[in-house]
Structure 1
Amino acid sequence: MTSGAPLDPIAEARRQWLRRWPEHAEHMAAITSVMRVQQILLGEVERALKPYGLTFASYEALVLLHFSRAGRLPLGKMGERLMVHPTSVTNTIDRLQAAGLVRRVADPADRRRVLAEISERGHEVAAAATEVLNAIDFGLGALAEPDAVTLSGLLRRIRRAAGDFGPEVADPWTSTAH
C-alpha cells in the first residue's frame, strides 16, 4: 500500500454512497474502515509475532493457556473463550505442539477428554511475545488510552448485539475497575 496516498479510498466510497444511498453511507464507511483497520492491525501484530513463530491466533491460544490457573484447558473450552470453531483450536494446538510450546494431555478427571497444556518454553514465548505486543500497544499506538476505551465500548455494542454475550454481563469499560 502506498504511504501518503493522495486519496482516501474509504472517503471516496462514502462520497459515492452519499449520492446513491445517503441513509446507508455512514454505516458503509464505518464497516469499510473497521475491515481496513483489521487488516492493518493484523499485519502489524503478525510482524511483531513472526520472530516467535506465532500468528495472532496462536498467540491468543498460547496466552489463554499461560493465564489459566493450571496451565491447561480442554480444547472445547478454549474454542469458547477464543470464539472460534473447534477445528480452528485443533489446528492451532497442532502448530503450537509441533513448536514445543504446548502438549496434549488426558484430563485426569475424564480421560476421554483432551487438554492442551502449556510447556515451560510456551510460558517463556508467551511472556516475550506479550512484551513485544505491549511495546507496540497491539498496533493501536495512534490512539490515546481514553480513545481505546471508547473504541472498545463502541465495538462491544456490536458484539453484544451479535450474541457474543448476554445483556446481563457487566461492561468493564463503564465500571471504575479497569
Structure 2
Amino acid sequence: MHPPLAKDPIAEIQKNWERHGWETAAAPAAAVTAIMRTQQILLGRAQEILKPFELTFARYEVISLLSFSREKRMPMNKASKLLQVHPTSITNAVDRLESAGLMERQPHESDRRAVLLVLTAKGKQVAGEATRALNEQLFEQTGFTPEEVAELNRILAKFRQRAGDFEA
C-alpha cells in the first residue's frame, strides 16, 4: 500500500472535465472512476486475504458458490451463469481449482454434454476457512458504515437491474 495522496485525484478529474467544458459528464466521470478505484482497493484487500489459501477472488467465488449449494456440486454452465462470467473464465478457474484438489469435474448423470463441478472435502474446508477470513478481515470491515452499505446496495442494485444484470 502506498501513502495517501495530498489531494483526491478523482476530484481533480471532475475539475478537469469541468474546465474542458464537459460539465454534464464531469460528475458521472468522477463517479465511474471512483467506483472503479473502489473496486481496485477492495479486490486488492480480498486478494491479500486469500493469498494464504492460494486462491484468487475469482477462484474463491467458484468454490464459495459450490459450498453454498445444497449438494456441493453444480453444472458448470449454471455456475458460469450465476457468477456472470464467460465459460472460458470459469474453465480457467476450474482447471486451477482441480489442480489444487479443491474440486473435481464429473460427468452429469442425465446430460452427457454437461459437466458437474463437485467440491472436494479439501475444497469444502478451504472454502469455509477463506470465507471466515474474508468475513472477519474485509466484509465486516469494509470502511463503510452500515447505513452506507445499505445505500450502496440499493443504488448499485438499481443500476445493475437497469443495465440488464437481472430482472425485477
TM-score of the pair, normalised by structure 2: 0.94
8 Å contact from structure 1 (residues 45, 139) kept in 2? no
Cα gap change, 1:6 to 1:137, in 2 (>3 Å): same
Q: For 1:162 and 1:141, locate their aligned partners in 2 and report how far apart those are by CA, in whole Å.
A: 25
Residue 18 of structure 1 is matched in structure 2 by 18
**Where does residue 85 of structure 1 map in the other structure?**
86
In structure 2, what is the Cα distance between the partners aligned to 1:83 and 1:18? 35
Give how far 1:31 is off.
Answer: 0.2
Q: Aligned residues, how many?
A: 167
Amino acid at match of 1:155: L
Gaps in structure 2 of 5+ consecutive residues: none
Deviates more, 1:37-46 or 1:135-144: 135-144
Match of 1:57 in 2: 58
Q: Once the two structures are superposed, what CA deviation does each residue of 1:17-56 show, in whole Å capped at 9, x if it has no partner?
A: 1222111111000000001111111111000001001111
Q: What is residue 143 of structure 2 aligned with on the other side? A: 142
Deviates more, 1:111-120 or 1:29-38: 111-120
| Conserved 8 A contact 1:102-1:118 | yes
**Number of the residue aligned with 2:113:** 112
Whole-Å separation in 2 of the counterparts to 1:138 and 1:35: 18
Alignment partner, residue 158 of structure 1: 159
Map of 2:73 onto structure 1: 72
User: Which residue in the other structure is 1:48 paired with?
Assistant: 49
Contact conserved, 2:14 with 2:29, CA < 8 A, in 1? Answer: yes
Aligned in 2, Cα 1:26/1:140: closer, same or farther, shift over 3 Å? farther
In 2, distance between residues paired with 1:31 and 1:112?
40
Equivalents in 2 of 1:67, 1:73: separation in Å? 11
Structure 2: distance between partners of 1:56 and 1:4: 25
Q: Which residue of 2 aligns with 1:5?
A: 5
Give aligned-pair identity as a percent.
Answer: 44
* Partner in structure 1 of residue 95 of structure 2: 94
Q: Which amino acid aligns with 2:10?
A: I
Task: Verify the 8 A CA contact 2:45 2:138 in the aligned structure 1.
Answer: no
> Does the 8 Å contact 1:45/1:138 carry over to 2?
no
Alpha-carbon separation, structure 2, partners of 1:79 and 1:28: 31
Please tell me the root mean square deviation across aligned C-alpha atoms, in Å: 1.3
Q: How does 1:124-139 map to 2 (within 5 A)?
A: 124-138=125-139
Distance 1:24 1:107 in 2: 50
